[in-house]
Chain A
Amino acid sequence: MDPARTPLGRMLLDEITPVVMVIRTPLVEEACRKNGLSFVEMLSPFCSFSNIDVPVRTASDQPYRIQKFKLRLFYASDVRQPDLQVANERLKEVITQAGEKDLSNLSSDLPQVDELLSSSESEILPSWFDFFNKQLIRTMSFSDHEAFDHPVACLLVVSSKDEQPINRFVDLYHGDQLPSLLNDGAMDPKILKLHLLVHDNQDGAPEKASKFLNEMRSTFGSNSSQLLCINSSQGGLVEHLQNPWAPFKTDASPTERLGCFLNIDDFNEIKNLMQDLASKHVIPYMEEKVRVLNQQVSATRKGFRNQIKNLWWRKGKEDTPDASNGPVYTYSSIESQIRVLGDYAFMLRDYELALSNYRLISTDYKLDKAWKRYAGVQEMMGLTYFMLDQSRKEAEYCMENAFNTYLKTGPTGHQNATRSGLWWVEMLKTRDQYKEAAGVYFRISGEEPLHSAVMLEQASYCYLLSKPPMLRKFGFHLILSGNQYKKSDQIKHAIRTYRRAISVLKGTTWSYIQDHVHFHIGQWYSFLGLYDSAVSHLMEILSCGHQSKTTQEFFLKTFLQTVQKSGKACEVMRLPLPVINSSSLKVVFEDHRTYASSAAAGVRENIWHSLEEEIVPSLHTARTNWLDEQSNFISKRIKDSNICIVGEAIKVAIEFQNPLQISIPLSDVSLMCELYVRSDDADSEANSSTAELQNDETTKSIADRFMNSDVSSFTLSNVEFTLEGGGRKMVQLTVTPRVEGTLKIVGVKWKLSSSVVGFHNFVTSSVKKIQKGRKKNKPSPADNLKFVVVKPVPRLEGFIQSLPEKVYAGELQQLTLELNNKSDLSVKNLKMNISHPRFLNIGNQRNLNMDYPACFEKKTNGVEQTFPEQTSNVLQNVFLFPEETVVQGDTSFLWPLWLHAAVPGKVSLYIILYYEIENPESFMKYRTLRMLYNLEVLPSLDVSFQISACPSTLEEFLVRMDVANKTSSKNFQIDQLSSIGYQWEISLLQPTDSLYSSPTLMSGQAFSCYLMLKKRKRLDSSEGNGSRSLAVSDIQLSTEGAGGMMYDISLSPVKDFHNVERLQHGDSQEGDSKTVDFVLLSRPLNRETDAGVSDGPSLFSHHECHCSVISTSPISWIVEGPRLIHHDFSTSFCEVTLKMTLYNSADAAASVRINTMDSSQNVGAQSSDASTLASGNQAGWYYVSLDSELKVTSDVSGIRMKPPSSDNVSPFVWTGSSSTKVRLPPLSTLAIPLQISVFSPGTYDLSNYTLQWSVVLSDNQGNYRETRPSSGTCQGYSYYLTVLQST
């Protein structure tokens, strides 16, 4: 790439060009002012030549041609180093202007990082950077340490109106007016002088001017004298297309008047004049000078001899004390001449020549420690290398060297360092070394805030443009730059840089940096008065949970202040504080389903469905009914959407979260809804289509409209609360439609700290939610929050009075169901279904006013109170209220309920109440009321029964009852135990008094007692309480309390609950003879009542059902016979007859085989026992206690097999048939005679027999109770027989 075409090349060709110093008389300036231009400005457009085509010959003999050329014109007064202060002011002005221009962009959308990456360099970089850099470089011009700013020629201009123009010419180039460069000897005062006479054509014909010209020619020589006629246009109306002067005017005056008196002739004349000046005067003069200087330099410095001499001479000078900038070089010194030679050669594009001279001089300056000059030469060397496009390394090395050397020279050098830095940057950019360029920018950023801000910003763009882009550094430097802009009060620039930085940070999780950026942009915007933008940025930092508490408070305060400053009611879409948990959105609305409590509404629909199935007409028919009646009215769309009723609230629960550590006050939290009054279908379609628009403006306008106008058609609930730091709160909001139509819930709004209104739109989020399937009952997602509002229908409200939250197991309580109907219309056909009949049962209306629990006491006066059975009302589980029941008006309808806490644990009672609406025109035929109560049942008494057959008697059983008090603090008094069953009669083994020392059971206490269960005679059961009531036998266990009153458990609620319990435990018939049910009644002793646990008099009933009386074997038997026999063995052996009674408790017939064994090894049972007993201790006989019997029978398989003794002959033999087989019909007894023969006196254990039994199963009983064994073998019981020798 041609270096001259690169940006740096173009810049150098623009900036390093010969300077022509202009000295003019005031009248010249006056003539030009008519055009709104100064003289220099007038000539400036014609100073650059794109195709001058001049042959140039410098040091070498080979001429070359220059195409592009440029002259720089300066007034003599400007040829000096610009004042730093002024220059800085000017730079500031440039930046401020640029900032103003950018203001329009400030409110535009945030830039995207992708856009930045895809756009080209020129689009990204603000255009004023170039201009700024150029201005910055210009502040360093006319330094005495470099020669390219030294005027090459001097243009003396005199007006034809001036008196004695010739003398004026002489006066002009004189003394004081000349710049210091010429006066203090830094440059050769003998420069090329050109004389120009300016004639204003408005002042008359140019004859006079021609006369002066001739005079001038004779005085100064014809070559250096020129005439320029201007203002040829009389009218002053010359319009210039693409006004050539416009770019050269720096101030913002209107450009159209510029050059209005200059017509095309003037134009051409100026053009020719300047071309003439450049090609005929400046360039030849420079050529000449280069050649002369080159000769001088060659003479004094080139060649070996000169070099040695120079070195030696310089060394000698080393002792002289150093001035800070090295020695002063006058124009006549060889160093200055070399420098001039180099610069002229550079300007004439003879870079080889320039480079060799720069090299030559650079060592000299270095040796002289003239650091500034050395740096200047190094800088030019770098540029020359660049223009030659050789040795990049050298070029960069030179630039860096120059840069560092300038920095070394102290504060004044910083300016120069900046310039060389900028050139260096351009050089690097040309070579695509953007990263390095950014580094250089960073180095030249310096101390001064504004300056460094611009440099840092340029550095950031270099990072962006580097390959691959370093976005984070881009962002970082933008922020640094913005910070500096802010320091120098360039807020608009600061905002611009920060906004660009956002594009980098967006979507990342570097929240600290993001907060910083947004917070400052917000502050600056509010400083500028752009409160809307400020608020939108400050909003980004509101949910800053990661910041410290003080920072959070500060952010929130700033935000609220900004909102207040903005002065208007601030309504913000998607205010991030508090956070709305969209997935928590729950909508509860009531169509034909109504809910008694919000808890009931939270229950899954299918639970209700299963309960509803039995009482509600099927869904399909219900729908059809609606359609039949109103099919022409309700379109299909409406049929599919949700239905709600005028005057009934729709509840929406939504969770608010506070991400901050500080608490935030929220007020006016309410729903945003829209309600279209349905006039016809077309209208509603149109309305709904407008509602589909979901962009922010529409929603906002909807919100506005809703808040202002539509309030009358529905009412909203208003919630106010304070969210604690880090807290979350479920908020329930309601909307109650007032008229029929279509209601749509749009979103929720709230007021933060009573100043900022935030909105949250549900619809955008609800779609996602439905996909998760969290929504309760919706067919089509889009219509989720859309409701068809229909005419009012009656709605029952119901609750159960005084239902406790916690009860003890077994507790029996009377409750009342209260129903209210607020509407004028009545309802009928009430039905009720309860999910847990074990816990809750429906009473009889007559129970309502009964005294509980006294009503259960058995009436001793004989007047038996009987309750009519309600089986007619019970359809499976469904309870039908009497036909005549009508709930209407203000009176509440009461109905008794019974609560029985059956088992410990937590239980949810679901109750569904169905009712029909009397008004046939109603939209709905029926509604249901759903009630939910959660009950916690605490364990109280733990009752268990163990039944075992009594071996001594048939059809009698021993019952062991274990009662343990599992409560922590409650004491119970056990009142009564009842057995239920036709055949059973329970009785105490011993009288009550002696059995129990204490009839009460303290907490944690347990006790057991034994009871006797007998089979009742058939007679009793048949003439008992009749088929429908329970056969009960009671025993009273307590002696005190209740006045010895017994409770009648055959009364309704206890009996009902008992039936349910029975169903719960199994499906066997009530009359099952093998099982028995027990009911234990007890009362709590009111010592101290626990909070929350039910109070007052109550009764506890514990039901234990299906206690089996059957042991593992269905066969039981008993051996009867004499226990003590006196016999005279001297006469004969003794024969003893025994009777064995067998009982079959199985349902089926059983065959039993009795095997008697005489062999000693099988028997042997009596051996040791019998012998020890026989050996003497006859007095020790005793009756075998019941306890041991019980033990043996309860554990048949556990019988010890006594070790067989071999040395004993069996003293008795079974004399009956050794094996008897009998068949026992089910549930029957059979007696079998047995006989033994005893040969000697003694005590004998007659247990050496076995019973083999097998149940004969009939076909239909094949799988009945498979767990029971169908056959088995039993070892005989011990039966001790004592035979004594009779005397």
Chain B
Amino acid sequence: MIVCIAVVGHQNNPLYIQSFTEADDALKLHHIVHCSLDVVDERVNNPKKSGPLLNETFLGLLYPTENYKVYGYLTNTKVKFILVTTDLDVKDADVRNFFRRFHAAYVDAVSNPFHVPGKKITSRTFAERVSTIVKAFGLSSAG
């Protein structure tokens, strides 16, 4: 199950954080997302690890915490997507697919002429779309 999804701007400022749990763990998830930025930075600054694909946007598993797995994705505009999940065996392909759809949703959201770049994403449509994608991810990984 996806616990949290986040969009972080190129100055590491949070643009969108949505958790999908009932529990009051927003702060914890904020911390996890915030910390994973360190790993994103590390991945980006040490390109030798990222392998032969220069334009690879998918950063893979950022780090496993006790209960969560954190995946990262970096767009060409240095916007980061962070995915926090409790599933312990997640296929990379699933995550990639998820991020691809999420990226499309993000692009649509920021293409809105009323969206101010670098400001938080407040679009309700975006939120709905994200939650659909998240639900779909849960189904695909379960099935």
Contacts and interface: CB of A to CB of B under 8 A. Distances in A.
B13 interface: yes
Sort chain B's interface into a size bin.
Answer: 10 to 19
A958 B45 CA distance: 90
Contacts of A475: 34
A463 B38 CA distance: 10
B35 A510 contact: no
A516 B35 contact: no
A476 B31 CA distance: 7
B56 interface: no
Interface string A659-670: 000000000000
Given A508-B12, A509-B14, A510-B14, A471 B30 contact: no
A468 B31 contact: no
A444 to B, nearest CB: 15
A510 B42 contact: no
A473 interface: yes
A190 B29 CA distance: 61
Contacts of A513: 27, 30-31, 34
Interface in A450-509: 463, 468, 470-473, 475-476, 479, 508-509
Nearest to B13: A509
B27 A472 contact: no
A512 interface: yes
Interface residues of A, number: 15
A475 B32 CA distance: 11
B38 A472 contact: yes
Contact of B27 (A468, A470, A473, A512): A512
B26 interface: yes
B1 interface: no
A513 B14 CA distance: 11
Contact of B30 (A463, A470, A510): A510
Contacts of B41: 468, 470
A475 B45 CA distance: 20
A471 B41 CA distance: 11
A479 B12 contact: no
B38 A471 contact: yes
A76 to B, nearest CB: 45
B106 to A, nearest CB: 18
Contacts of B38: 463, 470-473
B45 A468 contact: yes
Contacts of A516: 27
A109 to B, nearest CB: 24
B35 A473 contact: yes
Interface in B54-105: none
B110 interface: no
Given A468-B45, A470-B42, A510 B34 contact: yes
A395 to B, nearest CB: 24
Contacts of B12: 508
B37 interface: yes
A471 B13 CA distance: 14
A512 B30 contact: yes
B35 A476 contact: yes
A475 B12 CA distance: 15
Contacts of B27: 512-513, 516
A486 B34 CA distance: 22
Nearest to B40: A472
Contact of A479 (B13, B26, B31, B37): B31
A681 B141 CA distance: 83
Contacts of B42: 468, 470
Contacts of B31: 476, 479, 513
Nearest to A548: B26
Nearest to B33: A510
A1188 B92 CA distance: 90
Interface in A1105-1119: none
B86 to A, nearest CB: 19
A1165 to B, nearest CB: 66
Nearest to A477: B35
A930 B106 CA distance: 55
Contacts of A470: 38, 41-42
Contacts of A479: 31
A1116 B11 CA distance: 82
Contacts of A473: 35, 38
B141 to A, nearest CB: 27
A575 to B, nearest CB: 25
B26 A512 contact: yes
Given A508-B12, A508-B13, A512-B27, A476 B45 contact: no
Nearest to B9: A509
Contacts of B45: 468
Interface in B7-51: 12-14, 26-27, 30-31, 34-35, 37-38, 41-42, 45
A476 B36 CA distance: 10
A513 B41 CA distance: 20
Contacts of B37: 472
B2 to A, nearest CB: 19
A472 B42 CA distance: 12
A509 B15 CA distance: 9
A512 B6 CA distance: 14
Interface in A30-60: none
Contacts of A471: 38
A470 B46 CA distance: 14
B66 to A, nearest CB: 10
A910 to B, nearest CB: 38
A470 B43 CA distance: 12
A919 B70 CA distance: 83
B46 to A, nearest CB: 9
Contacts of B26: 512
Nearest to A472: B38
Pairs of residues from A and B, 3 with the lowest C-beta to C-beta distance, nearest first: A470-B38, A509-B13, A472-B38
Given A470-B41, A510-B30, 17 more contacts: A463-B38, A470-B42, A471-B38, A472-B35, A472-B37, A472-B38, A473-B35, A475-B34, A476-B34, A476-B35, A508-B13, A510-B13, A510-B34, A512-B26, A512-B27, A513-B31, A513-B34
14 contacts: A468-B42, A470-B41, A472-B38, A473-B35, A473-B38, A476-B31, A479-B31, A508-B12, A510-B30, A512-B27, A513-B27, A513-B30, A513-B31, A516-B27
